[in-house]
Chain A
Amino acid sequence: MNERRAQRVRARIEEAFRDAGVTGRLAAVDVDGGRGIGVRPDEPVVLASVMKVPLLVALHRQAAAGTLDPAERVVLGPDDRTAGSTGLAMLRDEVAMSLRDLAALMITVSDNAAADALFARVGVPAVNTVLAELGLRGTHVAGTCRELFDSMESDAGVADREELWAVLDEPGMLGRLSALDPARTSRSTPAETAGLFAAIWRDEVAPAAHCAQMRRLFALQVWPHRLASGFPYDDVRVSGKTGTLPTIRNEAGVVEYPDGGRYAVAVFTRSVSTAAVLPKADAVIGTAARLAVEYLRTAGG
């Protein structure tokens, strides 16, 4: 009986993905109860900026271990900052900031310059060590934001990102970009990403105080058009981290209800169209997450 309901919900989620013109993969799990539902939850997916989540976890584990001081100040000149449209990445002058404030910008506005400054301090290999320690075998961080940009430009044979947009429609171009191939870039599965968020919410990936700091940042994430769009209620809190690359739109996070219910959700989508602005593809992340969470909330018992 319950399995038949799950089938129906999965079919509705698939239909929502299709109507939005995307291929979607989803995993949702009750943070406390452990029950879950998924649509192709174990298939490899491109993390894009969701890769900033394991970096944040690694940062806090190093801070907890005492090998790094979260208040340590970093000075970043305009020329040694990775490009991006938000946060430090879009500023013009020198900035001095603590590691934890860099982390705040990295999570809340997906600041690429802040992320790469943290990668430089924490180390890409250390992030992968943490993922292995947490048992996330399908999750891997391939490199920094700058390395990812460089790979896209060299794969496409273009000089900058504006030019990349211009050639993106060329048949075959999307296939040539290693950044869009889970086998060759930072990757995970919906199930593992949702599991990582559930673990952060259960204080399992670092000491409780550190997990609380991480949760605070995810709750301060600014964009309302993806996961949060599925839960337009004053008393429901949506925390998350987005991930965006051409054709790729992701968000993973946790939805918390006033009755104490907490649900970790990870949605990874890929659009047929290369258009940069596709509101339906953004919104279906929220729609699919709501269908999954509503299933978990009512199928209880």
Chain B
Amino acid sequence: MNLIGHLECFVAVAEELHFGHAAERLGMAQPPLSQRIQRLEKELGLRLFDRSSRHVELTAPGRLLLDEARDLLTRVDRIHSLAARARLGAVGAVRVGLPADLGGPVLAALIADFREHCPDLRLEPREIGTAEQCRALAEGTLDVGVLRHPADTRDFDLGPMLAQPLGALLPAGSPEARGGPLHPADLDGREIVLFPREDAPGAHDELLAACRRHGLDPAAVHEARNPQFALGLVLAGTAVALTAPIEEEGVVWRPIAGDPLALRTSCAWPKGRRDPVLERAVERFTSIATRVLRRHAGMAPLERAVSRRVMARPASGFLS
């Protein structure tokens, strides 16, 4: 007999004084719960509850055992959490890869949030592009990465997919800096600044293709790994940066009409992890990172855009 399991059932029924409620709390059906209580009573050789048709009440011996059972369960909990801490100590740290253009405030929020929720675990962040993250995850030198899509993620599990619309960062005085959203064609022929292709080749190519498709054929593409470098090029009047919103002196960020330029981001980690403790740490990181990216980096879950319903009409359908 699994005494601990049976004692858990006993405490739940004793606290709820209702078999249905207790079963619900334990996430089990009522008949097996009743059977467990009966088996425990048989094992101990006494009745724990008086069951009338309407009420469930603790018997005197039941009351006597309740505190002891609670105490025992608390100590069992402690054994579990001590074991987990010991194993986390063995794991030491979660090695995470983060894109270079995430920005200081986002990184700080991520580390603070993780520290608060996983005090036993150290976060070991590395500034590392998508292409290299994929390699490092495959080689096992990275536990989880925040990467840009599209990328070859066949061997990885992915967290929630987030989309971040990019806009144009312009010098405050330029004519396009006034008014509402820009059309990509408004920037046709200008030089643009984007993150380096070698960091995330898939996303880089996709963004440039989207620019050209919508009438923005840049005269030159400058690559800036660092947001400050991009800012410098914009302030100097050399180029327009395609970035997430940035608030800085001397520049204006404009959205692009219809959000045709967007970066897709998600956490990724190797499939088929062996160590359940590391697995749980990666899970915690993914949920924290997803929350921080939504709150602090203006990213939105992609599922929202996917649920679009289209009633195609004869004249607007395919090949009409």
Contact = CB atoms under 8 A, between A and B. Distances in A.
A174 B183 contact: no
A273 B313 contact: no
A277 B319 contact: no
For chain B, give the interface size range.
35 or more
Q: Is the interface of B mostly helix, strand, loop or mixed?
A: loop
Contacts of B53: none
Nearest to A152: B318
Interface stretch (B1-9, B85-93, B128-136, B257-265): B257-265
Contact of A170 (B184, B260, B302): B302
A276 B317 contact: yes
Interface in A161-178: 161-162, 165-172, 174-175
Contacts of B311: 276
A277 B186 CA distance: 24
Nearest to B214: A272
A48 B319 contact: yes
Contact of B319 (A23, A145, A223): A145
A126 interface: no
B210 A175 contact: yes
B310 interface: yes
Given A165-B308, A270-B213, A272-B184, A171 B264 contact: yes
A282 B313 CA distance: 13
Contact of B260 (A112, A166, A272, A282): A272
Contact of B263 (A48, A171, A175, A278): A171
B210 to A, nearest CB: 7
Contact of A18 (B185, B307, B309): B185
A276 B310 contact: yes
B315 interface: yes
Contacts of A273: 258
A225 interface: yes
Contacts, number: 108
Interface in B267-320: 302, 305-320
B314 A86 contact: yes
Interface centre among B150, B306, B320, by most chain A C-beta atoms within 10 angstroms, is B320
A277 B309 CA distance: 12
Contacts of B302: 170
B183 A18 contact: yes
B258 A272 contact: yes
Given A18-B183, A166-B306, A277 B263 contact: no
Contact of A172 (B149, B186, B308, B318): B149
A7 interface: no
B261 to A, nearest CB: 8
A169 B306 CA distance: 7
A76 interface: no
Contacts of B263: 171
Contacts of A168: 308
A273 to B, nearest CB: 5
B263 to A, nearest CB: 7
Interface string A151-189: 010000000011001111111101100000000000000
Given A170-B305, A276-B316, 14 more contacts: A21-B183, A21-B258, A49-B320, A84-B320, A110-B320, A148-B319, A167-B306, A168-B308, A171-B263, A225-B315, A242-B320, A244-B316, A272-B183, A277-B316
15 contacts: A18-B185, A21-B258, A23-B214, A48-B319, A85-B317, A148-B319, A162-B310, A165-B312, A169-B305, A171-B210, A270-B213, A270-B214, A272-B184, A276-B316, A277-B313
Interface of B: 149-150, 163, 183-186, 202, 206, 209-210, 213-215, 257-258, 260, 262-264, 302, 305-320
